[in-house]
Structure 1
């Protein structure tokens, strides 16, 4: 197995580890208390940023070293989706993000994956759109901003006005994520509407 694919698998492995340090799942245990502390959030933030960097690195290595494979093409987007959905799921559990946002993200991924599967059956490969790429970057950045939010707003160096401004900025990023998720989904549908129309007519 080549290095890019190993990085992709590592990213998938890091997803449940990241969740363990984000959401307390062991009752009132010492570990759960650590998860709820600043230390737990620091570990979760480090894990998420590291996992996000492997996403950039595996694609870069695959292209520069000529190691692009069908296995990597299949697994890489799955790893990305798992990481993003895990991140937003954690913040829904913590009450920081609306479950509606998570529902839209999950629904979009199901729809786009379905369109790609239909296209693949017809021998058509659908490349990632610019909307999709921008959406992915904004989703990752939004999660990073949310992860470091307690350190910004809880810092003794942060004023009430700055803390409020940061929370507002994070909320705007959440809205941007929601809008781009919807637009990128519509973009996939619009570009492949003829193929989907033919499919429906042949049912």
Structure 2
């Protein structure tokens, strides 16, 4: 396997690992400030940061070492979706992401993957476009915004805010909703761009 694809593979491996770590405190009924709650946050933040960095390293390495391939063009966005939908699922269960936005993004990503499969069947590899990359940036930011909120609870830091704790967390929650709303908006704008540029492939197949 090419080194660039190994970076991409890391996201596929880390996605279920992060999912498992996220829910361990809940499955074990660990309260805020407990050892498992603290450890889960201390593990998730660097692991998620590393997973997101591999998205930069795989493309950068592939271009620098002439490893760009049609497989990589499809593997990279698939790994992105695999990781982000895993994290979004965690945040939906915790209430940081509205279900309606999750479902809208879910539909968009499956639609995009279907378009990529049809295009691949006809010999066209659809690489990530600028709109898709911008959408991914907001996916990343939204994940860390939601994880920061969960981290505040798990590290039991809210109590140190005193009377400001509840207002601050509500503001953070609604800010997170805003980021996820932008994610959904950019997801469909970029999907429209993909359809505009590659819709003929789908039309010819039909």
TM bucket normalised to smaller = 0.7 to 0.9
Aligned mate of 1:192, from 180, 198, 202: 198
Query: TM-score with structure 2 length normalisation?
Result: 0.82
- After superposition, give the CA deviation of every residue in 1:46-86 in whole Å (9 maximum; x if it has no partner): 21111001111111111112222344333222211110010
Q: Is the 8 A contact 2:70 2:125 kept in 1?
A: no
Q: CA deviation at 1:96?
A: 2.1
- Describe the shift of the 1:198–1:75 C-alpha distance in structure 2 as closer, same or farther (beyond 3 A): closer
- The runs of 5 or more residues in structure 1 that have no matched partner are none
Which residue of structure 2 aligns with residue 47 of structure 1? 47
Q: CA deviation at 1:136?
A: 0.8
SS of residue paired to 2:24? coil
Matched residue count: 199
Query: TM-score with structure 1 length normalisation?
Result: 0.83
Q: CA deviation at 1:138?
A: 0.5
What is the CA–CA distance in structure 1 between the aligned matches of 2:121 and 2:70, rounded to whole Å? 15
- Segments of 4+ moved more than 6 angstroms: none
Structure with the bigger RCO (C-alpha within 8 Å, sep 6+) is 2
Does 2:175 correspond to 1:175?
no
Structure having the larger proportion of residues in helix:
2
What is the CA–CA distance in structure 2 between the aligned matches of 1:19 and 1:183, rounded to whole Å? 28
- The runs of 5 or more residues in structure 2 that have no matched partner are none
SS of residue paired to 2:22? coil
- Describe the shift of the 1:126–1:71 C-alpha distance in structure 2 as closer, same or farther (beyond 3 A): closer
CA RMSD of aligned residues (A): 2.8
Which residue of structure 2 aligns with residue 89 of structure 1? 89
What is the CA–CA distance in structure 2 between the aligned matches of 1:124 and 1:4, rounded to whole Å? 21
Q: CA deviation at 1:198?
A: 3.5
- Describe the shift of the 1:2–1:127 C-alpha distance in structure 2 as closer, same or farther (beyond 3 A): closer
